[in-house]
Chains A and B, each alone.
Chain A
Amino acid sequence: MEKKRLTKILAQADKDIVAKLSAAIQRTYSPVIVKEPGKTLTMIKMREPVKQSLFYIGEVIVCEAMVEINDVKGVSVIMGDDIEKALDIAIIDAAINLGVFTGMDQLLELEQEQSHLRMQENALHLKTMVNFNSMDQEAPDDLNANKKE
């Protein structure tokens, strides 16, 4: 599984679920902490659509951690200040990199639940989609209205 997808599932997961997955790994392996979990900042780089240039909109607080299992690294960076969760995710990442992670099915289930909830939230918002009926016949209906052929 791509790291993007994997970390999205883990970052959005409840911390207790992540802790259980990590605990299962620690029953067999002894992760070594390479970088103690701690808070740091991440600067957010944006592209604006007018001139297509880059700018910084601001920073976000993240927690980072790095561990090793059998000399194989695992890292995590997640928004917020949940140090324990950051460490647990780094342990899971190391286990995946080592090829000994057994909870992938659970992660896939989690992903489905997360995705379903987001789509339900999307449905809530789509209910507010409107079509304005203009009282003015001259008012353009859409982007192509009044466009010269």
Chain B
Amino acid sequence: MAYVAVSGGKEAIEESIRLLDYYRSGTNKDIEIEAIENKLSLLVDRVMSEAGLYAKTYAALALKQCEGSPEEAVFLLRAFRSTLTRNYYTEVVNTEDMRIVRRISAAFKDITGGQILGATYDYTHRLINFDLDQENAAELKEHMHNMLTSQTAEEIHPCPRVSDALKKEGIIDSCEENNQPPHDVTMNMLEFPSDRSARLQTLTRADTGFISGLAYSVLRGFGQVHPTVGELRCGYVELYVPYLSEIGESIYIGEIMMTEVECFNSADDKDQLKLAVGYGAVFGRNENKAISMSVIDRELDAGGPHPTQNEEFVLMHGDSLEMNGFISHLKLPHYVTFQSKLDAVRKTRG
């Protein structure tokens, strides 16, 4: 395959870009960034996760700019991120301390700390609510605020992990803390076999559709069959960075919402005496992505003949920016290469 530079089309391109505004101009009503951030928050979460950048307002703005296209929004956020310096690294975030808003286990009915359904669409009827067409946002906000402030305050207690008890029992392996500095795929090329930190960072940034499809293939038989969600937890974790170096304290910079999953699988030891665990963690509320990540993590550990067990296949093809960029390049002029293909066909036909 070869490329050739072409010129021309400058005015057409400028008009094309202008035309994008035309496609956003079909109504007098504007969509406010605050509204996107709060009412399309699952989409905002998805974009932040795939961009690898937790910035709700900017994700909402990016979605507005590109007519709600997740891949374009990811591109915009990544581009913006590349203009900023990185001056801080947080202290290690441990999700044991998560302020939980949802926590379930498919492995056990009764878990220490309880199963908390939180806000979920799992039990809703999937029927369109036509009343929403006339919804009064201000009334809804006031109603929910009143509901919140009428609650009797409940102390917040962190929940132990479901896997902790199984580790104590020796059914799941316990590991010592490994403080090796993580690989950073935003700074260094991915190498194979990859470091675990590189794998997890790549998976958490992966396109939601890609990683969900891969996990689905596992469940359908192209991999290990049907892992069990040991624990899915969703909630807020607090972020701290070191204070002035000479003092040695930490400062709170804020909190992020995230979803974390541990899935339990049959172990790969020949006696089947233990369970193996796959791990997933993503920005925001994005349960299927976190579950899928945990499935793929385990598949990559297990290895085997299926695509989901091939590290290079999984880690090199799921990045939203890279995959959409490469597919998008097919729209660029390939006049010379196509002409040679055409010539070859014509010659063959005589």
**What is A's interface to B at a CB cutoff of 8 Å?**
2-4, 7-8, 11, 39-62, 64, 73, 75-81, 116-126, 128-132, 134, 139-145, 147
Spot the interface stretch: B78-86, B135-143, B332-340: B78-86
Residue pair B86, A116 in contact (C-beta under 8 Å): no
Instruction: Assess the A52–B176 pair: CB atoms within 8 A.
Output: yes
**Known contacts A59-B54, A123-B151; 19 further A-B pairs (Cβ under 8 A):** A3-B250, A4-B240, A40-B86, A44-B54, A44-B90, A46-B94, A50-B277, A50-B297, A51-B196, A57-B282, A62-B88, A73-B244, A75-B244, A120-B152, A122-B154, A128-B118, A132-B115, A143-B166, A147-B169
Contact A128 B117 (CB under 8 A): yes
**Chain A facing B: main interface SS:** mixed
Shortest Cβ-Cβ A-B pairs, 10 listed: A79-B254, A119-B153, A55-B197, A142-B110, A42-B88, A8-B252, A123-B151, A58-B52, A128-B117, A41-B86
Distance, CA A82 to CA B200, complexed state (A): 31
Q: Which residue of the partner chain B has the closest CB to A93?
A: B251
Distance in angstroms from B13 CB to nearest chain A CB is 31
Interface of B is mostly: mixed
Q: From the candidates A2, A55, A143, name the one contacting B182 in the complex (CB within 8 A).
A: A55
A50 and B262 within 8 A (CB):
yes
Contact flag A124-B148 (CB < 8 Å), given A47-B93, A49-B163, A52-B178? yes
- Whole-angstrom CA separation of A7 from B254 in the bound complex: 9
Surface stretch bound by A, among B65-73, B101-109, B214-222: B101-109
Closest chain A residue to B166, Cβ basis: A143
The winner among B93, B154, B181 for most chain A CB atoms within 10 A is B154
Q: Number of B residues whose C-beta is below 8 Å from A?
A: 94
* B25 contacts partner chain A, Cβ-Cβ < 8 Å: no
A31 vs chain B, min Cβ distance (A): 16
Taking A40-B86, A44-B239, A56-B184 as contacts, is the C-beta distance between A78 and B55 under 8 angstroms?
no
Contacts of B49 in A (CB 8 A): 58
Q: Is the CB of B244 within 8 A of A50?
A: no
List the B residue with the shortest CB-CB distance to A139: B109
* Min CB gap B315→A, angstroms: 13
Decide yes or no whether B33 CB sits under 8 A from chain A. no
Q: How far is the CB of A28 from chain B (nearest CB, A)?
A: 23
Is there contact, CB below 8 Å, between B87 and A41? yes
With known contacts A55-B201, A141-B109, A60–B89 Cβ distance under 8 A: no
Hey, which bits of chain B sit against chain A, CB under 8 A? 48-49, 51-55, 57-58, 81, 84-96, 99-102, 108-112, 114-119, 147-149, 151-156, 161-163, 165-166, 169, 175-182, 184, 186, 196-198, 200-201, 204-205, 238-241, 243-244, 247, 249-256, 258, 262, 277-279, 281-283, 297
Known: A57-B204, A81-B57. A44 touches B256 (CB 8 A): yes
Contact of A61 with B58 at beta-carbon distance under 8 Å, contacts A40-B88, A124-B147 already known: yes
Q: Which of A53, A75, A80, A132 sits near B196, CB closer than 8 Å?
A: A53
Chain B residues in 8 Å Cβ range of A51: 175, 178, 196
Question: Are A56 and B182 within 8 A (Cβ)?
Answer: yes
Complex Cα distance, B248 from A97, in Å, reads: 14
**Given A44-B239, A47-B177, A81-B57, residue A3 in contact with residue B251 (CB < 8 A):** yes
Residue of A nearest to B243 (CB): A3
- B88, B162, B197: the one contacting A56 at CB < 8 Å is B197
Cβ of A140 to closest chain B Cβ, rounded Å:
6
Contacts of A42 in B (CB 8 A): 86-90, 239, 241, 253
Q: How far is the CA of A73 from the CA of B198 in the complex (A)?
A: 37
In the assembled complex, the Cα of A129 lies from the Cα of B154 at a distance in Å of 13
Task: Jot down 14 A-B pairs with beta carbons below 8 A, ordered by A.
Answer: A4-B251, A42-B88, A43-B86, A45-B89, A50-B297, A55-B200, A56-B197, A60-B55, A61-B84, A77-B241, A123-B153, A131-B110, A140-B109, A141-B109
